[in-house]
Structure formats: C-alpha cells, structure tokens
Structure 1
Amino acid sequence: MALTTRIIQACLLCCITVLLPLKAETALEQLSFSDQLHYYAEHPLRSEEHKARNRYRNPVETLLFFAIEPQHQVLEIWPARGWYTEILAPYLKEQGQLTIAHHRQLQLDMDDDRQRFWARISRQLSERIEQQPEHFGAVKQLAFDPPELLHLGKENQYDRVLSFRNAHLWDQHGLLLQSMQEFFRVLKPGGILGMVEHRASRVSDITSFAAEGYLGEAYIIMVAEAAGFELLDRSEINANPLDSRDHSRGVYSLPPTLAMGSEDRARFLAIGESDRMTLKFIKP
C-alpha cells in the first residue's frame, strides 16, 4: 500500500510539473496544502542534492505536522543553505510571509572559522533569494546571533516559528532557554513552535546520553516549558532506528557531513541521516 501511494504521488507530481506553468499561481492554489508542498519539495529549482535529502528530512509531512498554511506569518530560524526556505518561501509568497533569521553576515573577516563559515552561508542564501525573486518572493531577512542579536520582531507577530536542527548549537553556548523565550515572545497566542532536533539516547524518562550534536528530548521539552510553551504533540516522522547515536564524531559522522571522511563511510551512508525528534509546542 505504501509503495502504491508513493507511485500515485510521483505521478501526480509529474502531472503538476507538466501542466502547471510556474506563473499559474491560481492553479497551484487550487491544490491541497499537501500537494502544494509536494510540488515545491520536488521543484526543478531545487538541486538534486537537496531533493535527495527529502527521504530523510520528510519536508511535506513535517510542515503538515506543524500545520503550516499559505496565509501564515512564518519565522524560520537559521535556515543555513535554505533547504526548507526554498519550499516555504514559494508556498507562502502569495498569501502569507516568510521571515528568515540568519547568522549575522558581516563576519567574513573574523578570526573565528565557524563564524566566517556561517556568515558566508547566510550571504549565499541572501544572494540566491535576490537572484530568484520569481520563486522566493519577498522574503524578509534579519540577523539572529544570541546573545548580542536576539530580537526577532514584534511581540505576537508570527503564526509559526520553525527551527530545524539548531537547538544543540544554542545549548552548547548556554543560550537555549534565552532563545526559546524570544521565540515565545514573538509568537501569537495559539501560535506554534515547530522543532526538529537530533535525538540523544534515552537513559530514563528524564535523562539521556548525548553524543556530539544530539540533545535529550525530555530536556528540550523541559526548557520549552520553562520558556512558557506547552507541548502540543510529538511525531516520529523524522525518526531513524538505524542511528545508534554512539559515533565517534557524534551526529557529524553521519550524512550529510560525513566528518570521518573515508573511515566507515559505507556504514554511515547505510545508516543515513540522524535520528530526530519532531516536537510541536503551542503558546497558550
């Protein structure tokens, strides 16, 4: 049955691509939210490398779980190379608004290699958005680099705030709670914070073992609740039971980073991308 469903979806996507010109926005709007997201997830402007990761990142199912609708005001935190941005932006551009919160882009001459890397990646995404306005639309952009650059907009501004695999980075610098509090401030009452994060091995209901890059699910829930959120739901959409989470370089041993180089490369490729929690919080 699952194979049949995938075949039907593939046929539908082929028909959409052939029959719907890119300018036929009204035709796209007649499709269900799910079919619109499928269309953009497989869009010709997405690289083959990005589309190949759909099997691990499950963008359509994930965005439907977070209940993203075309008229929403959506804030995406640290979009990196724009893997989700290139789906969200066209989906929202006619009725809603996408805002992305980058790393600051004025750090290309800094001594910190990591800061220079993220500044360069953010700059590249901004340039791509400017070069492809017909696809991305008018994406708003701001800098988010806590603790100095923490402000994400007006209070009660967004319907959805989304974070994909960022929480471990904030936690490394002791900034997870502060970041969550800012997400809470800018969300509308009833708004949803959607988070996907590398999931650590659970030791008990309240403790876990976290290798590099992984976080405990109970821990993230605890921090979110301390910021004022309530856990609305959780999903296994992005789970990977093949991930043992005990790799020598942690999550970075796995694709797409493959930090171990040629060492155990075939084994890591067979595992695939990390096991991930998918959490949906609501601002009461």
Structure 2
Amino acid sequence: MRSLSLALLAAVAGSSLANPVMAETAKTASAMIEPALAAAIADPLREKDRARDVYRKPAETLSFFQVSPTMKVGEYAPGGGWYSRLLGLYLGPKGKLVGLYFDPTSSAFGDKMKAGIREGATKYPAEVAEWSGQPAERFSAFTLDVVPDSEKGTFDRILVMRMMHNLLRWNLAAHEIKQMRELLKPDGMIGIEQHRAKPDAPYSFTDGSKGYLREADVIKFMEINGFTFVGKSEANANPKDPANWPNGVWTLPPQLGGNPDEATKAKLQAIGESDRMTLLFRKRP
C-alpha cells in the first residue's frame, strides 16, 4: 500500500498546477492582518515562541488560510504545540480549536506510539487551556481512526503544518485526508504548509523520507482526493534553502541534525528554516 500511494504521486509529477489565474487571485502575504490575530501573535504568553515567527510567518500564513476568530479549526498532528499555543489564544474566546491526531490503529506505529497518540489527544484540551489561559471547553481532540458523526461537516478549516511528508512515508495520506474531508463543511478548506523540494527533484528525494515534497505532487494528490486548489502563498518561502540535503530537511534549524561543527552550524543558521510551500484547498462537492 505504501508503494501504491507514493507511486501515485510519482505518476502525476509532470502534471501542471491548477489554473494559474486562481493562484494569482489568492491572498498574498501582505494582506491586512485581522486585529484579533495580531493581538494573539503579540500576546505575552507567546514570549518563548516568538523567536520562530520570522520563519513560520503565522500572521501571513493564517491570514492566507482565511482563518477567522469565530471558526471551528482543526489542527492536524499538533506535535510540540507551537501553533496550538497561538491558535488557542486566537480561537479560544469565540471559536473552537480541535486537535486531530493520527489514526493510532495504523501499522505504521508500534504499541508505544499508539498509546502515546491516544494519550496526546486526551491531554490536548487541558494543555491548550493552560497555554492560552482560555477555558478547556473551548478545545477538544480526537484520533482519526473513527470520525464521530457529530463532528462530520462541522469544521471551517483544517491545518496540516509540515506533516504531509510523514503521511506519505507512513502510508497514511489517503486515509487521513479522507477523514479530514469528512469533517469539513461543504465550503470548508484545508491549509497545508510543507517543506518544498525543487520541481525537478528526483522521486527518491521526494517520497517523504527527506521531509521535502514537490509542490505539484501535493496539489495533484489533494485534487485526486476531493479538493479544489484555491491558491498558494510565498509567505514561507526561503530561497536560501537549496532543498537538497542528503540527510533531509532535519539538517537545517531548528534540528541542526548530524551534529555539525560550529562553522557548519553558523552557515546553516544563516540559511534559516526550510523553504516551504503554503497551499490552500477547498472541499469539492
């Protein structure tokens, strides 16, 4: 099954992107930032997270994804919580934030990981409440092995932040995206931020194992799985990233993998975090 999912992306590698007119009409990174979002980004509770704003561009990214403070928003695979802490501040007062966790029944995970996924979903509401100072009932979470009927068709947005490569290499992409599609309202949208490979990068480098994917492949995958490409933003672009690291994206900050010497570390820090695509998709009827 894993080879089938990855072969699908390889087969469409040469396909053209969606209508360029549509892409050009998408909001740009210079769009006006909604006041509640600006306030959340500036909140003192984000003091430790703010250093990465220069790389993650949360104001431009969430504005491009057209997230508003009254929406119900799912964050897929919340991980370390960097975006959850911001989204908790932004959505907590008037909206709803839901953590969407991997299907823990997948054979991609061992028993320890499966237990950790379920535990993460259980802890999520209380953790975001503590981070944001908002009531825990403003937050919820569940795993994607079974989508509750009451949740289907209720989400305005779902955010998939730097996670598509894992979905592909773990053979979860088709199942998880299908589950997310079930959760979205008829006009709901998925925003994807993902490490971006060069357009001519070989399949061996873009199968998910290096963290980088080709933009055209991600777009076509989403189109095949029931979404219309709305547009793209270059808010998270980094032209200094050659996107060809033998050990993958983890060579760059913040991981700085491979134990680099001080001179190499300085060069990598000067490059910064990875070049990233920022894509928006609407649920197709």
TM-score range, shorter chain: 0.7 to 0.9
2-structure distance, mates of 1:224, 1:156: 18
Compute the RMSD of aligned alpha carbons: 2.9
TM-score, normalised to structure 1, is 0.75
Q: Which 10-residue stretch deviates more, 55-64 or 181-190?
A: 181-190
Shift of 1:256: 1.1
SS in 1 for 2:43: coil
1-structure distance, mates of 2:219, 2:212: 14
Task: Confirm whether residue 236 of structure 1 aligns to residue 234 of structure 2.
Answer: yes
Q: 2:224 aligns with which of 223, 226, 237?
A: 226
Shift of 1:140: 2.9
Matched residue, 1:151: 147
Matched residue, 1:203: 200
Pairs within 5 Å for 1:93-104: 93-102=92-101
Higher relative contact order (CA 8 A, sep 6+): 2
Pairs within 5 Å for 1:63-74: 63-74=62-73
2-structure distance, mates of 1:156, 1:117: 27
SS in 1 for 2:212: coil
Matched residue, 1:44: 44
Task: Confirm whether residue 178 of structure 1 aligns to residue 175 of structure 2.
Answer: yes
Task: Give the partner amino acid of 1:202.
Answer: P
2-structure distance, mates of 1:258, 1:121: 26
2-structure distance, mates of 1:116, 1:246: 35
SS in 2 for 1:201: coil
Shift of 1:35: 2.8
Matched residue, 1:187: 184
1-structure distance, mates of 2:181, 2:268: 37
Matched residue, 2:84: 85
Shift of 1:58: 0.3
Task: Give the partner amino acid of 1:176.
Answer: A
Given the superposition, is the C-alpha separation of residues 208 and 150 from structure 1 closer, same or farther in structure 2, using an over 3 Å criterion? farther
Given the superposition, is the C-alpha separation of residues 123 and 71 from structure 1 closer, same or farther in structure 2, using an over 3 Å criterion? closer
Given the superposition, is the C-alpha separation of residues 234 and 133 from structure 1 closer, same or farther in structure 2, using an over 3 Å criterion? closer
Shift of 1:113: 7.3
Given the superposition, is the C-alpha separation of residues 267 and 161 from structure 1 closer, same or farther in structure 2, using an over 3 Å criterion? same
Shift of 1:141: 2.8
Shift of 1:228: 0.8
Conserved in 2, the CA contact under 8 Å of 1:238 and 1:278? yes
Shift of 1:47: 3.8
Conserved in 2, the CA contact under 8 Å of 1:103 and 1:118? yes
Conserved in 2, the CA contact under 8 Å of 1:150 and 1:179? no
SS in 2 for 1:99: strand
SS in 2 for 1:202: coil
2-structure distance, mates of 1:276, 1:181: 23
Task: Give the partner amino acid of 2:180.
Answer: F
Conserved in 2, the CA contact under 8 Å of 1:238 and 1:275? yes
Report Cα offsets for 1:83-116 as digits up to 9, x if no partner: 11122122222322111123589xxxx9777668
Q: Which runs of 4+ in 1 moved over 6 A?
A: 110-124
Matched residue, 1:56: 55
Conserved in 1, the CA contact under 8 Å of 2:194 and 2:213? yes
Conserved in 2, the CA contact under 8 Å of 1:164 and 1:195? yes
1-structure distance, mates of 2:138, 2:58: 19
Matched residue, 2:21: none
Conserved in 2, the CA contact under 8 Å of 1:93 and 1:138? no
Report Cα offsets for 1:24-58 as digits up to 9, x if no partner: xxxxxxxx85232122123211242x110000100
Matched residue, 1:160: 157
Shift of 1:200: 1.1
Report Cα offsets for 1:153-174 as digits up to 9, x if no partner: 6321101111101111110012
Where does the alignment leave 5 or more consecutive residues of structure 2 unmatched? Answer: 1-31
Where does the alignment leave 5 or more consecutive residues of structure 1 unmatched? Answer: 1-31
TM-score, normalised to structure 2, is 0.75
Task: Give the partner amino acid of 2:88.
Answer: A
